């Protein structure tokens, strides 16, 4: 399974190093079989020496080698650390920073052309969820416009906007139904994200079409994140 942590705007260079050290020691000791992804903030990126099943990625980047894009990082800055995993389309990028579907697709094409592993996020706002499952599926499929779903290094994360950072996870029944419907179109690994906690990890990972979790808040504490990996190992 894929167990991923999105630090968002949390952790420093120093605390990221300490986090990855603890994570590395935990996976060595436990012999974890999970695919573990960690997305620290850009200021904390480095060439980390971690096991091959732990991959560090970038939360965001502009689709250029380098250039005049103040505040952004491009391929040259990522290359310095040899990183090849990126998060694209996170709801905070779409809703807080106004990233359009066209920009998400442009980023996707660019980083695909560079051979990146891409965690591509989709998810509906609350009013769409209230309109029922067909509206939810239509909305999520629209967020796949311009995205090559046959790309072999694609991972999709279904993250309902109303569940992200709110402490209110989608229910097992909602995730199950949504993933089952999305699975008709998406053959890539399909993660769930949205207020996942150690206590809810088992029931979510047991959902048939759920290949892992993308976790924000609960994963910022490394012991919590290790517990989630341990739960995945126990299944
Ligand atoms: C996320 O940022 O992708 C996320 C799922 O956050 P949280 O776990 O805090 O809801």
The confidence score (pLDDT) of residue 93 equals: 97
Best residue for ligand 1 mutational test, from 10, 119, 160, 215 (most atoms within 8 Å of Cβ): 215
The confidence score (pLDDT) of residue 129 equals: 96
Q: Whose CA is nearest to atom 3 of ligand 1?
A: 216
pLDDT digits (tens, 9 = 90+) for 117-152: 999 999 999 999 999 999 999 999 999 999 999 999
- Beta-carbon contacts of 204 under 8 Å, excluding residues fewer than 6 positions away, are 169, 172, 175, 192, 196, 210, 213
The confidence score (pLDDT) of residue 220 equals: 98
The residues annotated as belonging to the active site are 90, 159
Q: How far apart are CA 39 and CA 66, in angstroms?
A: 21
Q: Which domain holds residue 119?
A: 2-234
Given a cut of 90, whether residue 165 has pLDDT beyond it is no
Given a cut of 90, whether residue 52 has pLDDT beyond it is no
Angle at 43 between CA 66 and CA 21, to 5 degrees: 125
CATH number at residue 13: 3.20.20.70
pLDDT digits (tens, 9 = 90+) for 191-232: 999 999 999 999 999 999 999 999 999 999 999 999 999 999
The chain-wide mean pLDDT, for the chain, equals 97
As for ligand 1, residues whose beta carbon falls within 6 Å of it are 6, 8, 159, 164-165, 193-196, 214-218
CA distances from 102 to 107, 136, 144, 148, 160 (A): 9, 20, 10, 13, 20
pLDDT band at 167 (very low <50, low <70, confident <90, very high): confident
Best residue for ligand 1 mutational test, from 194, 204, 213, 224 (most atoms within 8 Å of Cβ): 194
Nearest ligand 1 atom, CA 169:
10
Structure tokens that stand for 138 in this block: 């239509």
- N-to-C CA span, the chain: 10
Largest CA distance in the chain: 48
CA of 157 to the centre of ligand 1 (A): 11
Q: What is the four-CA torsion angle of 16, 157, 58, 235, rounded to 10 degrees?
A: 40
- Beta-carbon contacts of 66 under 8 Å, excluding residues fewer than 6 positions away, are 74, 75, 76, 77
Q: Whose CA is nearest to atom 6 of ligand 1?
A: 216
pLDDT band at 75 (very low <50, low <70, confident <90, very high): very high
CA of 170 to the centre of ligand 1 (A): 12
pLDDT band at 49 (very low <50, low <70, confident <90, very high): confident
Mean pLDDT of 44-60: 94
Q: How far apart are CA 145 and CA 148, in angstroms?
A: 9
Domain count, the chain: 1
């Amino acid at each position: 399974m894929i167990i991923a942590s999105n630090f968002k705007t949390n952790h420093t260079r120093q605390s990221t190093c300490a986090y990855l050290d603890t994570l590395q020691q935990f996976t060595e000791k436990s012999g974890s079989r999970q695919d573990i992804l960690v997305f620290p903030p850009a200021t904390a990126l480095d060439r980390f020496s971690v096991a091959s099943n732990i991959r560090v990625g970038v939360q965001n980047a502009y689709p250029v080698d380098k250039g005049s894009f103040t505040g952004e990082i491009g391929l040259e800055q990522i290359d310095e650390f040899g990183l090849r995993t990126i998060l694209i389309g996170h709801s905070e990028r779409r809703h807080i920073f106004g990233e359009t579907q066209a920009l998400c697709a442009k980023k996707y094409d660019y980083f695909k052309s560079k051979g990146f592993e891409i965690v591509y996020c989709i998810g509906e706002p609350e009013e769409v969820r209230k309109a029922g499952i067909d509206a939810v599926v239509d909305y999520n499929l629209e967020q796949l416009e311009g995205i090559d779903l046959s790309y072999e290094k694609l991972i999709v994360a279904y993250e309902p906007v109303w569940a992200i950072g709110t402490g209110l996870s989608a229910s097992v029944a909602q995730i199950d139904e949504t993933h089952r419907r999305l699975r008709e179109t998406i053959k890539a690994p399909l993660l769930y994200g949205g207020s996942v906690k150690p206590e809810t990890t088992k029931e979510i990972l047991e959902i048939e079409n759920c290949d892992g979790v993308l976790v924000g808040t609960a994963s910022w504490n490394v012991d919590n994140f290790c517990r989630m990996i341990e739960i995945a190992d126990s299944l």
